[in-house]
Amino acid sequence: MKYLPNILEIKAETTLNLLLARAKKVKTHSIDEYIESGGYNALKKALSMDPKEIIDWVDKSQLRGRGGAGFPTGKKWQFAVQNPPPRYFVCNADESEPGTFKDRVLIERDPHLLIEGMIISSYAIGAEKAFIYIRGEYPAGYYILRNAIEEAKSRGFLGKNILGSGYSLDIYVARGGGAYICGEETALIESLEGKRGHPRLKPPFPVQKGLWGCPTVVNNVETICNIPIIVEKGWEEYRYIGPSEYPGPKLFPVSGKIKKPGVYELPMNTTLRELIFKYAGGTLGNKKIKAILSGALDCFSADELDTPMDYSPKGFGGTGTVIVLTEEDNIVELCLKIAEFYEHESCGQCTPCRVGCYEQHNLLKKIIKGDASEKDWEAFIYINKHIQPTSICGLGAVAGRLIRQAMEKFPKEFERYKPTVVKY
């Protein structure tokens, strides 16, 4: 590669050696290194299979989307192929949730795993054009992917008549421009069409009307990287990785007040406690844990350390992001940062989200300064409750959630700032 920006040496550890088999090493693996370790064998196998059979395998593997919502991937693909072509396949590499850096490690270190996954996925759903939408703040990833695509083309894995199968595919890489909302799949599609990233009303879902009104599958980087593993091992063997209800490897980006921050690849029957203490070395200075955040979504307390890292209703869920805060950290200050984040990232389309995120942040600033009157407190609580119900997209739906959980789980932290006791 001619030019590569400076990249980070993020620690990556694995007990499974699947998604991070190569990426645990801090380097970008070339196509030769990828092929040497068995890469592109899954593609060869896939091209000898009927596309329907691949979808069936992915369905039976019980793979769920790793982009946050945990939607079953096989089901999504089944919906897509019910609609007539042209169909498109889109890789969501917008990764902008605070605390999340798992996709980055895959993109920068093992780009061919992602590309092989994209080719198989596109073949399965009958797409002849596929796109990777990578966030603007990952320039190195952009160059690495462009380069890897050229490498794959030169070996006949991409382009016209892939490996003599008669199937043709082009993959395009597009960069974002610094907007968290473009990770939401319909906003991403708008952005990919060259527009502002305003989420669309659903339904219709992207699998019905996505890019240019055509059926489109949007999957997360980590989800796609599971596809070669499923094809290579077969769905039955894949189902033995981790717990039977939530099979497959999962990446957990761990950061905050922790001794060994980094990305961990583990099965989903791992608990939050094991992840933090057994793998990530416990807290900095052995301080007591106060809160664990799954990005900007949920807030867990130290009483909830036995939460399993899976997609069950009581599981950790989401992207697998773990941010650890300890006894020294101020929860109200945390809420202020969360409110700031949502205010900054609301796209402004719907009134409750636009006004709500702004006011929530504003009132919280007052509260933390000690300037909030009882009326301000009431307004704050009212707004926090009402951002959610009438929003177009998931951002508005969760913009008040972590803060509400924090108020419920850490009432004392908030009391300090209250003139009189206000009931939530």
Ligand X SMILES: Cc1cc2nc3c(=O)[nH]c(=O)nc-3n(C[C@H](O)[C@H](O)[C@H](O)COP(=O)(O)O)c2cc1C
Chain residues that interact with ligand X, rule: CB under 6 A: 65-69, 71, 92, 94-97, 181, 183-185, 218-220, 223, 393-395
Residues 20/251, Cβ–Cβ less than 8 Å = yes
Stretch that binds ligand SF4, among 14-22, 279-287, 385-393, 409-417 (CB under 6 A): 385-393
Binding residues for other proteins, how many (CB under 8 A)?
Answer: 59
Minimum CB distance to ligand SF4, residue 2 (Å): 38
Using a 10 angstrom Cβ sphere, with 0-12 exposed, 13-18 middle and 19 or more buried, the burial of residue 231 is: buried
Q: Applying CB under 8 A, does 257 fall inside the site for other proteins?
A: yes
**Stretch 179-198 residues interacting with other proteins (CB under 8 A):** 179-180, 191-197
Residues 39/148, Cβ–Cβ less than 8 Å = no
Q: Applying CB under 8 A, does 118 fall inside the site for other proteins?
A: no
Q: Applying CB under 6 A, does 393 fall inside the site for ligand SF4?
A: yes
**Stretch 184-213 residues interacting with ligand SF4 (CB under 6 A):** 199
Whichever of 39 and 183 has its CB closer to ligand SF4, that residue is: 183
Identified binder of ligand SF4 from the candidate list 38, 86, 178, 348, rule CB under 6 A: 348
Identified binder of other proteins from the candidate list 72, 136, 156, 315, rule CB under 8 A: 136
Identified binder of other proteins from the candidate list 38, 85, 178, 213, rule CB under 8 A: 178
Q: Which tokens go with 195?
A: 């527009």
Q: Applying CB under 8 A, does 223 fall inside the site for other proteins?
A: no
Tell me which residue of 235, 324, 225, 342 sits closest to 284, measured CA to CA: 324
Whichever of 231 and 402 has its CB closer to ligand SF4, that residue is: 402
Identified binder of ligand SF4 from the candidate list 191, 294, 319, 391, rule CB under 6 A: 391
Longest CA–CA span in the chain (Å) reads: 75
Identified binder of ligand SF4 from the candidate list 223, 346, 384, 405, rule CB under 6 A: 346
By residue count, the chain amounts to 424
Please give the torsion angle defined by the CA atoms of residues 208, 212, 217 and 221, in that order, rounded to the nearest 10 degrees.
Answer: -150
Q: Which residues contact 164 (CB under 8 A, 6 or more apart)?
A: none
Q: Applying CB under 8 A, does 6 fall inside the site for other proteins?
A: yes
391 binds, among ligand X, other proteins, ligand SF4, none (CB under 5 to 8 A by kind): ligand SF4
**Stretch 165-184 residues interacting with ligand SF4 (CB under 6 A):** 181
Binding site for other proteins (CB under 8 A): 5-11, 95-101, 104, 129, 135-140, 172, 174-180, 191-197, 212, 253-257, 261-263, 293, 296, 323, 325, 329, 333-334, 337-338, 341, 344-345, 347
